[in-house]
Amino acid sequence: MVVLYTDGACSGNPGPGGWAYLIKDASGAELARASGGDPATTNNKMELTAVIEGLMTLDERAAVRVVTDSQYVSKGMTEWVKGWIRNDWMRGSGRNKEPVKNVDLWRKLVTECARLEVTFAHIRGHAGHPENEECDRMAVAATQAVRFSE
């Protein structure tokens, strides 16, 4: 079992953004970390990208607990995604149906989760959780890096 901590950040929404992840094993030893950015994105895209990038580094069949402060990601994967798939990636009902936002990223996330044993846990952001705070620092730094590289 490994734990994947993730976070996304955005300066403006949309605007320049960053993502970050930190992977630890069951004993708490750090296995990997990475971050990156996008000069024109949204916070939700960065939250999804952080999880996708982290999962992509793991071997098939790994048991992973994703810890995120994003309700968009955690509820999306635990409550909403089955309905979206069943409705051909549409949300709402009747005349109010509309395409799921960020469907390309949701599809990638579903694909990554299918090859692993993934569970999702939501934590409150900016509440002193050490790994979440570190991911936040990394994501903000990635945001600043793309923001000032233009």
Q: Does residue 35 contact residue 142 with C-beta atoms inside 8 Å?
A: yes
Contacts with 63 (C-beta within 8 Å, 6 or more apart), sequence order: 1, 2, 116, 117
Nearest to 125 by CA among 18, 6, 26: 6
What are the catalytic residues?
7-8, 47, 69, 126, 136
